[in-house]
């Protein structure tokens, strides 16, 4: 059974985290920096293999302060979509983090920091960070920090619009994939943005570029639980900002 709410409430007041250790050559990592970071800090198995629902649920709550219902949905959705059943294990484990790179399952084209899959019908998409895309995102974060203190949900709407315009050579995202793309940006905002909803470039560089909790840079665990309602509110803001930017900046190909 998952741990009691009070245990995780107590963890919200502490800044003590497990140390970061980069992955070794035999460790599995996928395209999700949030899960890779959890493995690098030892909240998921460091080898990135045979991850159970309970391990994922606990890590999401303990490190990112995600609410009980939302952590349950995220953990169960991941293992049900990507897990494998073994007679020796009743837990339907996620066999390894790299499996999240299966194309058009949870992964999708137009990632902010990953190149597209080589073709629409490809089995696997790149799991490694694309240096050029990461630099572009960090440049956008630096510009936002100079202008108004950090990346906001509205900035992510513009960033997503620009990325979609450049990346969707394999065809448009489905409705579900678009929702996942907005949700990925929302996750970054909720975990890294703090009460001001502004992400510092150095936080983004550590979290995505190094897949490390940006503790040294001054980041603290979200003080307020990340619940489904507030998460959805930010998804809607990013979606509206993207639509607004696209209307104000029509594509020449349209």
- The overall longest dimension of the chain from CA atoms, in Å, is 56
Task: Give the separation between CA 112 and CA 179, rounded to whole angstroms.
Answer: 14
Residues 223-241, mean pLDDT to the nearest whole number: 97
Question: Residue 16's pLDDT is what?
Answer: 83
Could you tell me the pLDDT band of residue 13, with boundaries at 50, 70 and 90? very low
254 falls within a domain: no
Q: How many domains, the chain?
A: 1
Residue 211 in tokens? 């897949």
Residue 253 lies in a domain: no
Reply yes or no on whether the pLDDT at 8 is more than 80. Answer: no
CA 105, 108, 112, 116 dihedral sign is positive
Domain region containing 64: 5-248
Does the pLDDT value for residue 5 go beyond 70?
Answer: no
Q: What pTM, to 2 d.p., does this model score?
A: 0.91
What's the gap between Cα 159 and its chain centre? 15
217: domain CATH number is 1.10.489.10
Closest CA to 189 of 125, 146, 239: 239
Residue 234: both structure tokens together:
């930010």
**Domain presence at residue 25:** yes
Does some domain include residue 9? yes
- Tell whether the model's pLDDT for residue 6 goes beyond 70: no
| pLDDT tens digits, one per residue of 96-137 | 999 999 999 999 999 999 999 999 899 999 999 999 999 999
How far does the chain reach from its first CA to its final CA, in angstroms?
Answer: 52
User: What percentage of residues in the chain have a pLDDT greater than 70?
Assistant: 89
Strands (E), 25-150: 49-51, 94-96
Look up residue 112 and give its two tokens.
């902010």
180 in any annotated domain: yes
Q: Are 244 and 157 in contact (CB under 8 A)?
A: yes
Report d(CA 159, CA 117) in Å as an integer: 20
């Amino acid at each position: 059974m998952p741990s009691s709410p009070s245990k995780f409430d107590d963890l919200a007041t502490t800044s003590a985290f497990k140390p970061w250790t980069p992955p070794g050559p035999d460790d599995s990592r996928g395209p999700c920096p949030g899960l890779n970071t959890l493995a690098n800090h030892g909240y998921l198995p460091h080898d990135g293999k045979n991850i159970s629902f309970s391990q994922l649920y606990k890590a999401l709550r303990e490190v990112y302060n995600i609410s009980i219902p939302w952590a349950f949905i995220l953990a169960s959705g991941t293992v049900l979509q990507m897990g494998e059943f073994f007679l020796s294990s009743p837990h339907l484990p996620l066999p390894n983090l790299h499996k999240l790179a299966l194309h058009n399952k949870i992964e999708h084209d137009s990632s902010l920091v990953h190149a597209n899959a080589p073709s629409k019908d490809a089995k696997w998409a790149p799991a490694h960070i694309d240096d050029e895309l990461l630099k572009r995102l960090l440049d956008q974060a630096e510009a936002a920090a100079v202008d108004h203190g950090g990346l906001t949900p509205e900035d992510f709407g513009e960033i997503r619009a620009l990325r979609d315009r450049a990346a969707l050579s394999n065809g448009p995202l489905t409705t579900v994939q678009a929702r996942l793309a907005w949700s990925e940006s929302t996750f970054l905002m909720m975990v890294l943005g703090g009460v001001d909803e502004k992400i510092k470039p150095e936080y983004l560089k550590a979290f995505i570029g190094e897949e490390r909790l940006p503790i040294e840079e001054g980041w603290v665990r979200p003080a307020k639980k990340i619940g489904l309602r507030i998460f959805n509110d930010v998804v809607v803001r990013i979606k509206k900002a993207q639509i607004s930017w696209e209307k104000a900046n029509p594509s020449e190909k349209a």
